[in-house]
């Protein structure tokens, strides 16, 4: 029993055969059904393993992202801390440099004052020494003049009075 449907009346034309036994439609349905049944487990396992692998990689990527984010936050905190320390060190350095400069200026002023004081003391001492030397020289000059004039002014009576006065001065002392 053949029910070919002919679309074209001409020989060798195109037609559709609706007989399931002649078209092996039943065999194809059985083979496709078996393939789906057996391949379902195989393909399902492969797809399940692939899905698990992808989920594991996503979870790993997510944990690495979380760790990287945490590390970045820590690194930024460390950077901020390092910046704060650097700023503090720089400020401390400025303060210390200013203190050293002030101390150097103070020492220089003190050294200059000490030098001025020493120079003034040396000048005063030199002035006193020169004054004393001039007094001695003046006294020696006066004594030399008196000794030169004394023999002409001193007679025997004046000489006796001078000797008596000197003796009295020695006794009182």
Answer yes or no: is 65 within a domain: yes
pLDDT per residue over 126-171, tens digit each?
999 999 999 888 888 888 887 777 777 777 787 788 788 888 888 7
β-pairing, 15-17 with 4-6?
Answer: antiparallel
Q: What range does the domain containing 45 cover? A: 4-149
- Considering its fold, how many domains does the chain have in total? 1
Answer yes or no: is 48 within a domain: yes
- The reported pTM is 0.40
pLDDT per residue over 77-104, tens digit each?
999 999 999 999 999 999 999 999 999 9
pLDDT surpasses 90 at 25 = no
The pLDDT, as a whole number, for residue 144 is: 83
Answer yes or no: is 56 within a domain: yes
Answer yes or no: is 59 within a domain: yes
Answer yes or no: is 170 within a domain: no
Q: Write the DSSP assignment of 53-89 as a string of letters.
A: HHHHHHHHHHHHHHHHHHHHHHHHHHHHHHHHHHHHH
Q: CA separation (Å) from 173 to 59, 71, 103, 161?
A: 121, 104, 60, 18
Answer yes or no: is 162 within a domain: no
pLDDT per residue over 28-42, tens digit each?
888 888 888 887 878
The pLDDT, as a whole number, for residue 8 is: 46
Answer yes or no: is 169 within a domain: no
Answer yes or no: is 164 within a domain: no
């Amino acid at each position: 029993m053949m029910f070919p449907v002919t679309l074209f009346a001409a020989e060798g034309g195109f037609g559709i055969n609706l007989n399931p036994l002649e078209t092996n439609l039943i065999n194809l349905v059985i083979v496709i059904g078996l393939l789906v049944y057996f391949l379902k487990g195989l393909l399902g396992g492969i797809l399940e393993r692939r899905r698990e692998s992808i989920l594991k990689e996503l979870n790993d990527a997510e944990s690495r992202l979380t760790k990287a984010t945490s590390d970045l936050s820590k690194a930024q905190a460390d950077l901020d801390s390092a910046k704060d320390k650097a700023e503090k060190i720089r400020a401390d350095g400025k303060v210390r440099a200013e203190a050293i400069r002030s101390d150097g200026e103070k020492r220089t002023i003190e050294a200059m004052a000490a030098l001025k004081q020493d120079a003034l003391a040396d000048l005063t001492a030199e002035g006193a020494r020169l004054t004393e030397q001039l007094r001695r020289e003046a006294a020696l000059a006066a004594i030399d003049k008196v000794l030169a004039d004394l023999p002409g002014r001193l007679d025997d009576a004046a000489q006796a009075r001078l000797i008596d006065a000197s003796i009295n001065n020695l006794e009182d002392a």
